[in-house]
Amino acid sequence: MMRNIILSLFAVISIVAISYSHTWAFIIPEAKLSFHIVDEQGAPVEKADISVGFDQPVMRDKGTNEDIVRVLTDAKGACWVKHKTVSGVSYHINKNGYYEYYGEYQFRKAEGLKWQPWDQVVNVVLRKIENPVPMYARDSKMSKEIKLPDITSGVGFDLMEYDWVAPYGKGLHSDLILKLNNKNFKFHPTYVIEYEYDSELTITFSNRYDGIQLIKDNRRFGSEFKLPRYAPEDGYNKSISATRKLSLTEPVKQSFKDDNNYIFRIRSEEKDGKLVRAMYGKIHGDIKFYPKGPNTAVIIFKYYFNPDYTRNLEYDPKRNLFKNLEKIEYVGLE
């Protein structure tokens, strides 16, 4: 008798446990998305391979996993997909001859067992792989540290040599001229913060037609090929500046923004007062600096520099012109 009671109780506990572990499966709303894929000229892209990841619960309070559903676009560049999801989806789009594309969508509310908006339209522009070229590509955060020489005047940095100009390095061209202005710098070796300062970094250029311009793009999602394909012909500024303030009594204040990017023009040549030719490049992310003394700071930025005198900004990561880099120094498309 007691044995039967124990077996019955064990069966009930097992059923409850199974039901508990699968509860989400019966209450997860369904989501539907419709994709419309075109190229940069607006023409539909057929047979684009789309992998959509739908968030799925693993266990209570243990996060989520993904169910992957794959679909192909039709002749109109369209397709749709639906599946149950906890709250959102991520997607990856691949097509031979195009740069890969990444995105996500988070739903806000469900009505019944359908996430709203139902049949959400996702418009995507795929960028063709057209003319990737070799460039000097370097990320100072992952490479040799760039530390501003401890002087009060501006100093030139050679992007091709990845070094300061003589006598502070082996650089030959002052592509960027950096100057640090510290309104207040104090050492605090025994405090929580080592330094206190109110600093401004200014970047200027050597030649009449050199310059830089801001490009806004958070670069988190979208095509793996970021920023414009070609550098603009005009709109360049002669200088830019960034600020950072570190204090014992206030939160850190700085001008750096994640969606700040730049296109630059350097080594410009002129004849009769007109631009003849120049070299162009781009900077992914903001230019950041961290003072380490009254006149010096560590500079962090990632740049792509095309030396072929064209405005092409399409980089070939297999042909970085910096040779013998360590594996950690590899610079990809993003």
DSSP string, 214-268: EEE---SSEESS-S-SB--SS--BSEEEEEEEE-SSS--EE---TTEEEEEEEEE
Residue 10 dihedral angles phi and psi, to the nearest 5°? -65, -40
Long-range contacts of 108-112 (CB under 8 A, 24+ apart): 110/29, 112/29
78-84 and 109-111 strand pairing: unpaired
Q: What is the C-alpha to C-alpha distance for residues 151 and 50, in angstroms, rounded to an integer?
A: 54
pLDDT of residue 13: 31
Neighbours of 279 (CB within 10 A): 24
Hey, what are 283's tokens? 């900077």
Residue 114 dihedral angles phi and psi, to the nearest 5°? -130, 130
**28 Cβ contact partners less than 8 Å away, ≥ 6 residues apart:** 56, 57, 84, 85, 86, 113
Question: DSSP characters for 29-69?
Answer: PEEEEEEEEE-TTS-B-TT-EEEEEEEEE-STTS-EEEEEE
Q: pLDDT tens string for the chain (334 positions)?
A: 444 433 333 333 332 333 334 444 458 999 999 999 999 999 999 999 999 999 998 766 566 688 999 999 999 999 999 999 998 999 999 999 999 999 999 998 999 899 999 999 999 999 999 999 999 999 999 999 999 998 889 999 999 999 999 999 999 999 999 999 988 888 877 777 788 899 999 999 999 999 999 999 999 999 999 999 999 999 999 999 999 999 888 899 999 999 999 999 999 999 999 999 999 999 999 999 999 989 999 999 999 999 999 999 999 999 999 999 999 999 999 8
Four-CA torsion 9, 15, 20, 24, nearest 10 degrees = -170
pLDDT of residue 63: 60
pLDDT of residue 183: 85
Beta partners for 186?
196
CB 73 within 8 A of CB 48: yes
CB 139 within 8 A of CB 302: yes
pLDDT of residue 2: 42
DSSP state for residue 270 in the 8-state scheme: E
CB 298 within 8 A of CB 253: no
pLDDT of residue 189: 74
Hey, what are 246's tokens? 């570190």
Q: Which helix (H) or strand (E) holds 180?
A: strand 176-187
